[in-house]
Structure 1
Amino acid sequence: MGRFERTRTGRAVDEGTPVLAIGLVLAAVAALIHVYIFVLESLQWTGDAA
Structure 2
Amino acid sequence: MLFLVAALLLLGVAMGSVAHLPPPVTLAAAVVIGVWLAVFAIRERHTRHHH
Q: Comparing both structures, which one devotes a greater share of its residues to helix?
A: 2
Using the aligned pairs only, state the percent identity: 12
- RMSD of aligned residue pairs (Cα, Å): 1.4
1:3-39 deviation line (CA, Å, top 9, x unaligned): xxxxxxxxxxxx6110000000010000000000000
Structure 1 length normalisation: TM-score?
A: 0.58
Runs of 4+ in 1 over 3 A off after TM superposition: none
Alignment partner of 2:50: what SS? coil
2:41 matched to 1:32?
no
Unaligned runs of 5+ in 2: 1-18
Structure with more contact order per residue of length (Cα contacts < 8 Å, sep ≥ 6): 2
- Aligned twin of 2:25: 19
Q: Comparing both structures, which one devotes a greater share of its residues to strand?
A: 1
2:50 matched to 1:45?
yes
State the structure with more CA Rg: 1
